[in-house]
Amino acid sequence: MPDARMTVTVDRGSPVPLYFQVSQQLESAIHDGTLPPGSRLDNELALAERWGLSRPTVRQAIAHLVDKGLLVRRRGVGTQVVRPQVRRSLELTSLHDDLAAAGQRPRTRVLECAVVPAGDELAGRLGLAPGAEVVRLRRLRLTGDEPLALMTNHLPAGLVELTAERLTGEGLYATLRAAGVNLRIAHQTIGARPATAAEARLLDEHRGTPLLTMTRIAYDDKGRAVEYGSHVYRAARYSFALTLVEH
Set out the domains of the chain in order of their start, with CATH numbers. Answer: 18-81 (1.10.10.10), 86-241 (3.40.1410.10)
For the ranges 62-66, 114-118, 127-131, 157-161, the lowest mean pLDDT is seen at 62-66
In angstroms, rounded to a whole number, what is the distance separating the alpha carbons of residues 102 and 233?
Answer: 17
Residue 2: pLDDT band (50, 70, 90) is very low
Burial class (CB in 10 A: 0-12, 13-18, 19+), 2: exposed
In angstroms, rounded to a whole number, what is the distance separating the alpha carbons of residues 22 and 61?
Answer: 6
* pLDDT for res 134: 97
User: pLDDT tens digit string along 154-169?
Assistant: 999 999 988 888 888 8
Phi-psi region of 144 (alpha: psi -120 to 50; beta: other; left: phi over 0): left
Reply yes or no on whether the pLDDT at 244 is more than 80: no
* pLDDT for res 228: 95
Q: Which residue has the higher pLDDT, 228 or 184?
A: 228
Selection from 89, 92, 110 nearest residue 153 by Cα = 110
Q: Across the strands, what pairs with 136?
A: 114, 154
Region 213-241 average pLDDT: 85
Strands 210-220 and 183-194: antiparallel
In angstroms, rounded to a whole number, what is the distance separating the alpha carbons of residues 136 and 149?
Answer: 17
Amino acid, res. 133: E
Distances (CA, A) of 31 to 34, 70, 131: 8, 9, 48
Contact between residue 154 and residue 134 where contact means Cβ atoms under 8 Å apart: yes
In angstroms, rounded to a whole number, what is the distance separating the alpha carbons of residues 79 and 233?
Answer: 26
Reported pTM: 0.61
* pLDDT for res 168: 86
End-to-end Cα separation, the chain, in angstroms: 52
Residue 83: pLDDT band (50, 70, 90) is low
Residue 59 backbone phi and psi in degrees, to 5 = -60, -40
Reply yes or no on whether the pLDDT at 69 is more than 90: no
Instruction: Report DSSP state, residue 3.
Output: B
